Amino acid sequence: MQMADPQNVTSHQNHPGETRPAEERARQGEDLAALLARLLEETGKTQKDLATASAIPYATLNAWMKRTRGTSRVDPDKFRTLAETLRTWGAEVTPKQVFEAAGRPVPGPTDAEREAKLLKVYRELPADSQRALVATAEAMRKGTRVT
């Protein structure tokens, strides 16, 4: 294995005064609490502001910030709403960054046509097949969770 010449490698460690884009910082291991704390500081907003604007109970948001409550069962729309709220305040953040910081897989984009097709197929199935389809979908979702 050939090692890179340290003189030809550009990194932010070699340039400490250089700022890194938010996406790069998130990849450097920033968890949800750290990401939200940084973005709230950057926007001059409070946890209470974020809770109110994103319709997430303050106690829930505060528990995420204190790392006393996990996010494995959080509806993905809440993460999207967090990102959108922060973006309206001028923060440079994407839903992908929020999902990754929460240790959650990034769901695919919603597509009304695909959803309608799936619902149509589901409605045409007998009850036992509907239950099997739901069980399969839940197993697929659980299998993609980041642990």
**Global pTM exceeds 0.85:** no
Structure tokens at 141: 């979702």
CATH 3.40.1350 fits 22-101, yes or no: no
What pLDDT score does 60 carry?
A: 93
Contact 80, 90 (CB under 8 A): no
pLDDT tens string 51-96? 999 999 999 999 999 998 888 888 888 999 999 999 999 999 999 9
Report d(CA 142, CA 110) in Å as an integer.
Answer: 18
Buried b (16+ CB within 10 A) or exposed e, 72-105: eebebebbbbbbebbeebebebbbebbbbbbebe
> What is the structure's pLDDT at 141?
76
Cβ–Cβ under 8 Å, residues 95 and 49: no
pLDDT digits (tens, 9 = 90+) for 7-63: 333 333 333 444 444 445 444 679 999 999 999 999 999 999 999 999 999 999 999
Q: Crossing angle of helices 47-54/32-43, nearest 10°?
A: 100
Give residue 1's pLDDT. 40
* pLDDT of res. 19: 43
**pLDDT-based confidence at residue 137 (cuts at 50, 70, 90):** confident
pLDDT band at 111 (very low <50, low <70, confident <90, very high): confident
Question: Residue 144 — very low, low, confident or very high, per pLDDT cuts 50/70/90?
Answer: low
